[in-house]
A and B are shown apart, each in its own frame.
Chain A
Amino acid sequence: MNILGQNAVIDAKNLCLTFQTADGPVHALKDVSLKIGKGEFVSFIGPSGCGKTTLLRAIAALEEPTGGSLTVNGMTPDEARRNRAYGYVFQAAGLYPWRTIAGNVKLPLEIMGFDRAEQERRVENVLELVELQGFGKKFPWQLSGGMQQRASIARALAFDADILLMDEPFGALDEIVRDHLNEQLLALWARTGKTIGFVTHSIPEAVYLSTRIVVMSPRPGRIADVIDSPLPAERPLGIRDTAEFIDIAHRVREGLRAGHGHEV
């Protein structure tokens, strides 16, 4: 693992993030320290309120940390965003209903000012990457939920950022579709070598996908355990029935339980 400081793509040190609410301060993140190296697939798992989404949003400069330090590609998250360091995938596909699939994938390219020919080329490339070639002219309502989410991943990949941040991207899909998309995502990750930060609340999903699993716990949001996955890079779906897989899943579950304390 290349988790050495100088190689870290994402580097959080004693990161704190407190929301001021009417009911007093909420400690969404407290003293979170984590390094993510280039090409890693890191999952964040934990119950709601553990700060996993907040951490991802802080990396994307969608939330402002209130303490500690956070760098992305050695820059502040804000600078990193301006340098197109990451693509972000939300839980809902959020495709514009008035744009075709190709038009939706083109959206970031238009905003970032790519020329027309380059836009067309990239759209074609990423649609192929998520196995949606031939669907460019369709409107979102003509596609299934899983296909829509794939289109939204294509949109995040369109401007070729090195980091892909995914916030429960398959959370709203049924298990069969989710399995399929997980397989596809691993293939895509192997092909592109992106660094992926992946928020989920599914233990099998986290174990199946990740090179590293960050188990988080709530009140205040903090890291309870970090598990390096011994699973091989090549992962057929059947790997989920192996003893190794079940072992890691067990450790994740233990981590979640410990974090929850007496509440479970």
Chain B
Amino acid sequence: MPAADTIPSSDQRSRTDARHDAWFRGLLKFCALLVLAALLGAALSTLWGGREVLFKDGFHFLASDAWNPVSDDYGALAPIFGTLVTSLIALVLAVPVSFGIALFLTEIAPTWLRGPVATAIELLASIPSIIYGMWGLFVFVPFMASIEPMLSDTLGKLPLVGKLFEGPPLGLGLLTAGIVLAVMILPFICSVMREVFQTVPVRLKESSYALGSTTWEVVWDIVLPYTRSAVIGGIFLGLGRALGETMAVTFVLGNAYSITSSLLMPGTSISSSIANEFNEAVGTHRSALIALGFLLFVVTFVVLLIARLMLRRLARKEGH
């Protein structure tokens, strides 16, 4: 039996421990809640900063394509148009290429090649966006200017899609920005696809091979249906990146407030409008730019929400 006088002291000790535990837990919880505060704060602060434009004449702001700092008349249509068009071009180009790379890395390449190539593709994601912008402006824009006449002469002559490839070969423009964005988001989509392709049970694939399927049939009929929701999630993740990307598109977009049918014409996007004009803007102009930021945040939030939900479905299927 312990001596009588040690009992209260050990009791006291466990009480101190419990108190410290509660403090520690509180501290950790506070830090975790800061993550929520950051997201909520970003939404609320841009809403507050853009209130002058958003609430005074909200519908006009959303539906007008005017952007005139002199008469203080702002409409978000042209930047929204540019953001959507460049992101769509990026998706159309990046999704098949990412799929091809993921297929190569999971099914075709010899094992010794997979690691290095996967690392190289992921390095594309760690190159800062300003470098993409510089490369885009100084190297890729002249390159595009040299091949755009060819595009106009061939694709531009087609019915229907021909309209998309008309116009002077400036090099700058929606198409160029879309291609640069495609290169930027490719590693994100690819790494999701590669990761989920590896979760497909080997048994399923081997059964299919045993029935005489070709590699392509295994991928198209077994792997892809099995991972469908996560692949869509990965694509939305890439879309979220593309919508919010600033530096890579600002240089190559041409900064023109116009809505055109041709992809070769210059345009603007939400993020590049903000980056280009914010520091010179005052009053309503600045408020309009912050309101644009709010729109961008809401749109990307929804897109990323869908992406994460789709990705989580697969995680649940795995039993995590």
Please say whether chains A and B are actual partners in one complex: no
Spell out B's residues near A (CB within 8 Å). none
